[in-house]
Amino acid sequence: MKPLVDASLDGTQKIVVSARTGSEQGSLIPAVLRMTKYSGAIRIDDINLKNVPRVVLRSSITTITRQGLELDATLRTNLDPLSMTECYFSDEDLISMLHRVRLWDAVQRRGGLDASMSRMRFSPAQRQLLGLARGALHHRREGTRVVLIDDAITAHLDEHMRTRMNDFIDGEFAACTVLMVAHDLEAIRTADIVITIEGGAITSVLAQNGAG
């Protein structure tokens, strides 16, 4: 069986993975999180992820996907689910993050942080922006060093907002290894490394933007 992934990745790089099929695109994040079996090896900073206990691995990674998470709870809880057990961020922190993803005006009109999620009536694009904000807060709270992003997270955004959100990702996660599943040409353009997967195997690794 061909390996799904066999790659060594350096820290603080933005790596974009491009695959021909939806199944190959959708299999990367579960592989890194060890939610599915694969042959080959994934190494980050020379650490083989297969040797890291799953509970440690998952607590060290921030995952941002298109589907995301939606709880029958307040906007505050959906923005920072861990606040149910520990209040880590102030209201000012949460509002600042919502400003950064251009959501605060809509949230404020619909009742603020403690309004129910059902009152928000977010569009698909707004839900994706909420997912980005949630991921950034998780990274800040947990101090994660690896960020997995399905860049379909920006699929419902117009070109201007996709560019802004790619800039947000580049800035917010600058000290992390960022691994993105590619759908968006803008994400590919700004990547340090572009990995192409075909037939379950890596067929090319391209360094760009001065990465070596």
Would you state the pLDDT for residue 182?
Answer: 73
For residue 81, give the nearest of 137, 123, 132, 22 by alpha carbon. 137
Domain at 14-207, CATH from 3.40.190.10, 3.40.50.300, 3.40.50.20, 3.30.2000.10: 3.40.50.300
Sheet containing 193-198, strands listed edge to edge, beginning at the edge strand earlier in sequence: 61-64, 146-150, 177-181, 14-19, 193-198, 201-207
Nearest CA among 111, 101, 100 for reference residue 76: 111
Q: What is the pLDDT of residue 1?
A: 40
The phi-psi region of residue 63 (left if phi > 0; otherwise alpha if psi is between -120 and 50; otherwise beta) is: beta
Could you tell me the mean pLDDT of each successive run of 10 residues in the chain, 212 residues long? Answer: 56 82 68 80 83 85 83 95 91 98 97 97 92 95 90 80 88 91 74 82 77 60
Question: Residue 3: what pLDDT?
Answer: 44
Positive or negative, the CA dihedral 150, 153, 155, 160 is: negative
Parse the chain into domains and list their residue ranges.
14-207
Instruction: Enter the tokens of residue 164.
Output: 């802004």
For the stretch 167-175, contacts whose Cβ atoms lie closer than 8 Å and that sit 24 or more positions apart, written own/partner, are 168/100, 168/101, 168/132, 168/136, 169/132, 170/14, 172/136, 172/139, 173/62, 173/136, 173/139, 173/147, 174/12, 175/12, 175/145
What does the pLDDT read at residue 88?
94
Global pTM value: 0.84
